[in-house]
Amino acid sequence: CPGVEVAADRRMTDSKSDSRIWGDSKKGAKQWQEDSFGFLISKNQKVNILSVFDGHGGYNGLVASNTARDTLKSYFAPKIEECESWNVPTWTKNLQDLFKIIHDKIREQFLSQNGQGIRKSPNGRVKDQNGIVRNSSGDPIHGGTTASICVSLQESDGTYTVIGANTGDSTAVLISEDTSFEFLSEDHGPDNEQEFKRLQSLDDKAYPKKLIFVYDKAKCYKKFECPRVFLPDGKKDPKYVQNPWGHGLHPTNVRYEPAVYAVTPQSVSRDATCIAMTRALGDFYAGQFGLSSTPSILVKRTQKGVRFMMGVASDGVWDCWKYENFSKYICALWKEKKLSVKDMVETALTESVTRAITNFGSGHYVSEFVFRCTVLQLIPCSCFCFANQDD
């Protein structure tokens, strides 16, 4: 498509004189590469779109993330020049529409296969009355993906409007050249108070059984028996906030955030759910319990004359960093060491792998922290995407 640059699952540089992009990918030890990324640039470079999709569920995660990436491309490619004139409300509506389209496309792909690329047979998958994709046995198809999409829009005064839309926990950030940063995404994790309130506000008739937000406690093998994150009044249980490790919890990242899950009640058997997020695309069987495919959308405006970086990454990368440390690190590569785009990407990626091994062990890195791709765009703004192959 003329005027469109798209990168996905391959290394790429952009030859435009005032903009450079570098992408890289590495496959890890898992059978399937479940994550994907993509970006698009309008002809006049007024619009840049970055995306990361962190799949989960083995082969179904691969299908979900690749479908999300390809749907993003097909949605924006014919609109890439038109969207330069969109205002924020138009962008908001179109991004909301896109997430719904991706969600439906993933369902179509799940229905068209019997797993691991085998096409549908007479005894293949079906969609039930609730839109849940099931095997002929009646068991639900597991799998889905996070989705984080960031858009930078160049304004006539030289500033940028930056929009982040996401479901799940693939965090997006806006980093200024002074190392300050802002989030461009909401963390849809089971420790998010607003997500707890959203779930509790769902109609009890439509959602008679709802996800439970729990801490992952050591030696508690039935997750619905793990301690609850929130008390009935919506506040976190102070016992676990004040002394998490003394009560059998464990950290999930270097920021020492306790591991949490959204799980179904004990009474749910066939469609039992245990997932580390409260919103995702796909995961159709979990929607009946309150998992949402509706994105959160955040809008920021940059200051005139201030350069910035816009980045999005999956949780396996962010688990290795405190956000303020990553901001300082990437800015030092950019401003002090003056590395090329390629070297910035590869240096940051290598450092993330090293931190993963140091903090979580080489065995943990092999199984969970295999970084998949990095994309970086420089001048007048910087954009990078990281994705990892994660559990």
Confidence at residue 117, expressed as pLDDT on a 0 to 100 scale: 56
Statement: residue 10 has pLDDT above 50 = no
Is the C-alpha dihedral spanning 84, 87, 89, 92 positive or negative? positive
Average pLDDT for the chain: 84
Using one digit for the tens of pLDDT, what is the confidence trace for 231-242?
999 999 999 999
Residue with more model confidence, 128 or 354: 128
pTM value is 0.89
* DSSP output for 317-374: HHTT--HHHHHHHHHIIIIIS---HHHHHHHHHHHHHHHHHHHH-HHHHHHH-EEEEE
Residue 60 pLDDT: 94
How would you write 299-310 as a 3-class SS string? EEECCCCCCEEE
H-helix or E-strand spanning residue 243? none
* Dmax (CA) of the chain: 62
Kindly tell me the number of DSSP H helices and DSSP E strands found in the chain. Answer: 8, 19
Mean pLDDT of 355-366: 69
Domain boundaries of the chain, sorted by first residue: 29-188+294-379, 193-276
Q: Report the alpha-carbon distance of residue 78 to residue 4 in Å, rounded.
A: 9
Secondary structure string (H, E, C) spanning 185-215: CCCCCCCCHHHHHHHHCCCCCCCCCCCEEEE
User: What sign has the CA pseudo-torsion 312, 317, 318, 322?
Assistant: negative
The residue among 32 and 140 whose pLDDT is bigger is 140
Pick the CATH number of 29-188+294-379 from 3.60.40.10, 3.40.50.2000, 3.40.50.720, 3.30.1050.10: 3.60.40.10
